[in-house]
Amino acid sequence: MSDLSSGAVLAFSVILLGIGLFGLLTRRNFILVLIAIEVAMNAAILNFVAFGAFLGNGPGASGLSGQAIAVVLVGLAATEVAVGLAIVLALNRARGSINVGEATALKL
């Protein structure tokens, strides 16, 4: 019998979200901003997996629904990283740097 409680896993997920928000708000390199977004998304995916692990087969969805949602979310997050990197390449070609302060106009 283990004493790994759901509160511990959720607290870890909240701390990861805080780290992702810190990186998103304070970094000026576009790729570091993308990495911070990925950290925050992994926190949300961990949240789904934790709820799937600690809530059994209840009356609503089964406990595996959390893992099914997490599978779809992992795919979506990877897709978003790919599109973000395409934006980084386009911005680098237009401005010559990947400083987020340079992206001030709506048109590249």
Partner 1 sequence: MSLELVAFILLAGVAVVTGLLALLVRELVHTILWVAVFFVDLALVYFLLSAPFLGVLQLGVYAGAVTILLLFGVMVTRKRIFFREAATGIGPIPLGLALGVIVLLATVATTLPTTSGTVHAYAVTDLSVLLFGSDGGWLVLLGLSMMGALAGAIYLVREGRE
**27 counts as binding partner 1 under rule CB under 8 A:** yes
Contact between 3 and partner 1 by CB under 8 A: the answer reads yes
**Which residues in 58-87 contact partner 1 (CB under 8 A)?**
62-65, 67-72, 74-83, 85-87
Cα–Cα distance between 14 and 18 in angstroms, integer?
A: 6
**DSSP character string of 18-76:** HHHHHHHHH--BHHHHHHHHHHHHHHHHHHHHHHHHHS-S-SSS-TTHHHHHHHHHHHH
By CB under 8 A, residue 103 contacts partner 1: no
Residue indicated by tokens 């909240």? 14
Binding of partner 1 at residue 35 (CB under 8 A)? yes
Write down the least CB distance from residue 64 to partner 1, Å: 5
**Residue whose CB is less far from partner 1, 25 or 105:** 25
Contact between 105 and partner 1 per CB under 8 A: no
Shortest reach from residue 99's CB to partner 1, in Å: 9
Contact 95, 102 (CB under 8 A): yes
